Each structure stands twice: as structure tokens, then as C-alpha cells.
Amino acid sequence: MYGAPERIELKSTEQILLMRQAGLVVANALQAMSEIAAPGVSTADLDAVARDVLADAGATSSFLHYDIGSGPYPAVICASVNDRIVHGIPSPQELLADGDLVSIDFGAIVEGWHGDAAVTVLVGDVSPEARAMSDACRESLWAGLAAARVNGRLTDISHAVESSVRKAGRYGIVAGYGGHGIGSSMHMAPHILNYGKAGKGPRLTHGMALAVEPMITLGSQRTQELDDGWTVSTVDGSWAAHWEHTVAVLDDGLWVLTAQDGGREELSRRGVAVSALAA
Ligand code: MF3
Ligand code: CO
């Protein structure tokens, strides 16, 4: 936040195409994990599925051995159950139960280019409140993505996420965590807050790629890090949801690189153009 802003990496068409390959690996893995998530399945079982998808695709993990100062991350996914918000470490001891929410976050690298996305999966019969919160989080993700455009400003996205969440209900918008630029590394400039005024921050230009990732809770926005040095949970024990996509901002429209359909369905519904590159 201080001094000169870090420059935002601009991608060539070739680089965006590699990021799309990474994005499709991420989409496939998240779908495979969503399909097996059920009572009695462990979060380590989910991680094993993601490892298989990586191996089959000849891709590598964005997360494995990632180090933000608490030592190398030991898995290829983050699995955050119920009151855990993000960065939960999968474990064979952690079994999903009927009614749980599990947020699964996954990143893949193809020829040096990253894709990053997350979904919140409902395990069995989930309460209407928790289900509505996950739906509100997903909706706010698409509202944020749809607000990105060449010549727009970064906080147009933040503002769209916040407005969407506030419209949906009385949810906590997690403080201190947010989205990020992505490309030749997973986490790059700029940081993308999930709240704030529109029309501020860097101007968006052709070739930027952004990971938009709202995190909301049924209670307060306050977070705590657990003793494992990674897992972030709510302080009040309220449940949380987390949805994320990587989007490319291009002159002729957007391309949601981690969505199977490139974002076509959700963007079209919101009157937003999809880049011809996505065809
Ligand atoms: N996708 C996550 C994020 O953007 C990164 C997970 S951190 C890791 O916050 F260590 F697990 F890689
Ligand atoms: Co991310």
C-alpha cells in the first residue's frame, strides 16, 4: 500500500492460452473433487484426486511447497471445512460429514503459467442458511468478475463483490484476505479487496489476469490463524464460504480461464462480452 505500486504483469496471447490450459486442469480437478465429496470421505482423499488430475495432465501444483513464511505447504489443495475459511490443510483424519461445507481451493501450473480457483461444496443435506451463504458467495464472485473490463479500474471489482454480498443478506465479508494478480506466479500484484468504493486503483488493461475470490461468513468478518500456521478460521465459529476464478481481461471481453465454459453462461446473463479467444 506504500510507495510505488508494483507493476501488473501483462500476458501475450500465447501466455493466456497456456493459462487457459492450467485453468482447465483446475476446472477438471475441482469438478472431480466436488463429485466425490460425501460423508466419510477425507479431505486427504480430495487431495489425492487432485494429484491424479495433475499427473494425468502433465501439470504441476501451484500450492505444493508454497512458502509464505510458515514452512512449505504440504498438499496440492486447500480444504477448509465449516468454520475454516481458507488454507485448510487436507488430512486423512478429517472426514467429511453430512451437512458440512467444504471449500476446496486448487492451483495448477502448465509450462510456468498458473490457474487458481475455488468452490464451496455442500456435503449431503446442508442447512438452508449455509446453502444460501455459499450461493451468495458464488454470486458475488460472478458479480466481481463481470465488473472487470479494459479501461475500468481495479476496485470496480471490489465494489461489485461487496454490493452483491450486501444485497444477498447479512454476511461477514472476510477482512485481510482477497484476490490477486496471477500469471507467471500464483500471487502477484495487484491485491484485490472484496469491498470498497468503485473507480479506484490501477486501470485494467488488455492482458491482465486476476484471481477474484470472495470469502464470506454467517457471522463476523474476523479471522484467526490456527496453530498449523496455515488454516484460517472465523473467530466466532461461524461457517464460511469461498469461491474463486481466474479471469483474463482482454480488449474484446473477458475469459474466465478456470471455468469449463470460459464463463460464457454467467457473463452472458450479465450482459458482459466473452473474448473471441474463448471460442
Ligand atoms: N489459492 C490460494 C489463495 O489465493 C492459495 C493457497 S496458499 C497455498 O489464497 F499455500 F496453499 F498454496
Ligand atoms: Co487465489
Alpha carbon dihedral 167, 80, 158, 187, in 10-degree steps, equals: -170
Residue 112 grid coordinates: 510456468
Q: Which atom of ligand 1 is nearest to the CA of 230?
A: 10
Contact 243, 118 (CB under 8 A): yes
Contact 274, 255 (CB under 8 A): yes
Alpha-carbon span 137 to 169, nearest angstrom: 11
- Mean pLDDT of all residues belonging to the chain: 97
The finding on whether 266 has its CB within 6 A of some atom of ligand 1 is no
Confidence of residue 2 (pLDDT cuts 50, 70, 90): low
Confidence of residue 6 (pLDDT cuts 50, 70, 90): confident
Query: What does each C-alpha distance from 182 to 12, 28, 43, 99, 186 come to in angstroms?
Result: 14, 19, 26, 33, 5
pLDDT digits (tens, 9 = 90+) for 177-211: 999 999 999 999 999 999 999 999 999 999 999 99
pLDDT digits (tens, 9 = 90+) for 59-85: 999 999 999 888 999 999 999 999 999
Query: What does each C-alpha distance from 34 to 28, 144, 242 come to in angstroms?
Result: 10, 23, 14
112 Cα: distance to centroid of ligand 1 (angstroms): 17
Residue 249 grid coordinates: 481481461
Contact 9, 88 (CB under 8 A): no
Specify the pairing of strand 60-61 against strand 101-110: antiparallel
pTM of the full predicted structure? 0.98
Tell me the best of 86, 103, 120, 174 to mutate to test the pocket of ligand 1, counting ligand atoms within 8 Å of each CB and taking the most: 86
